[in-house]
């Protein structure tokens, strides 16, 4: 119940075009109900499934547009000291049917407030494919959201995750190993700038890693739009 109440409080605190807007909430004997704006479009996950081929997934321009909208929501959340901690295609929906709807970030169930100067978070929460090495080590900050954006971007462009495995343990091990592969059959059809963007988000070297939404939005792959 504490988690649900925290989610409601965080949703009350946000108002951004790329974040699902909460209209109201109420409680009965059995449930807490959250009333949101209507979104009739699909989850981004479904869009990926429907468009994946041997040669990639979404057109680069479309992926770019989605990632830019996602980063703007992350930029806004972080400005309010809110860390989402569960960014993934299943938590991104389109506001309307078709492929032209506005991207909305949903599900703040694992979100929490965390200031820049607070000690690092330690709870190992999230969805395995999208958890950063820092989360897996139990010592992380808001940059975990940027890592997840990098994973989502990779998936939108390729149709599959950058770090994979047959179970959660294997996915975690692959993530910790950090061997990022850009298969020519797919990435040969994409711009060098897109590869550089993903590489800098999914980088374990703090000297070259993109650590803020502001810096990500300034990357040439997005700033050219």
What Cα–Cα distance (Å) separates residue 145 from each residue in 102, 112, 199? 20, 12, 15
**How far, rounded to the nearest angstrom, does the alpha carbon of residue 159 sit from its chain's CA centroid?**
15
DSSP 180: -
Tokens of 118: 């607070």
- Burial environment of residue 6 by CB neighbours within 10 A (0 to 12, 13 to 18, 19 or more): middle
Tokens of 112: 């929490």
Distance CA 189, CA 177 (A): 26
- The residue count for the chain: 225
Is the separation of the CB atoms in 172 and 131 below 8 Å? yes
Active-site annotation holder among 2, 50, 86, 205: 86
Phi-psi region of 27 (alpha: psi -120 to 50; beta: other; left: phi over 0): beta
86 labelled catalytic: yes
Bridge partners (DSSP) listed for residue 62: none
Helices (H), 14-59: 44-51
Q: Which residues are catalytic?
A: 86
């Amino acid at each position: 119940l504490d988690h649900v109440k925290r989610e409601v409080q965080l949703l009350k605190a946000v108002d951004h075009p790329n974040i699902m807007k909460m209209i109201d909430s109420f409680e009965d004997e059995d449930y807490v109900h959250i009333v949101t704006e209507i979104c009739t479009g699909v989850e981004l996950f479904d869009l990926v499934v429907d468009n994946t081929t041997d040669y990639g997934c979404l057109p680069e321009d479309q992926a770019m547009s989605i990632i830019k909208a996602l980063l703007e929501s992350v930029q806004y959340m972080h400005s309010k000291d809110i860390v989402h901690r569960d960014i993934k295609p299943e938590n991104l929906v389109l506001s309307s049917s078709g492929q032209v709807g506005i991207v909305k970030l949903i599900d703040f169930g694992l979100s929490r407030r965390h200031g820049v100067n607070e000690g690092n978070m330690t709870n190992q929460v999230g969805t395995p494919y999208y958890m950063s090495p820092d989360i897996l080590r139990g010592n992380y900050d808001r940059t975990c959201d940027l890592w997840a954006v990098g994973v989502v971007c990779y998936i939108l462009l390729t149709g599959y995750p950058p770090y994979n495995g047959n179970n959660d343990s294997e996915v975690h091990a692959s993530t910790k190993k950090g061997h990022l592969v850009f298969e020519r059959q797919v990435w040969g059809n994409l711009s060098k700038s897109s590869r550089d963007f993903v590489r800098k988000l999914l980088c374990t070297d703090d000297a070259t890693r993109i650590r803020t939404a502001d810096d990500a939005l300034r990357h040439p792959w997005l700033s050219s739009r």
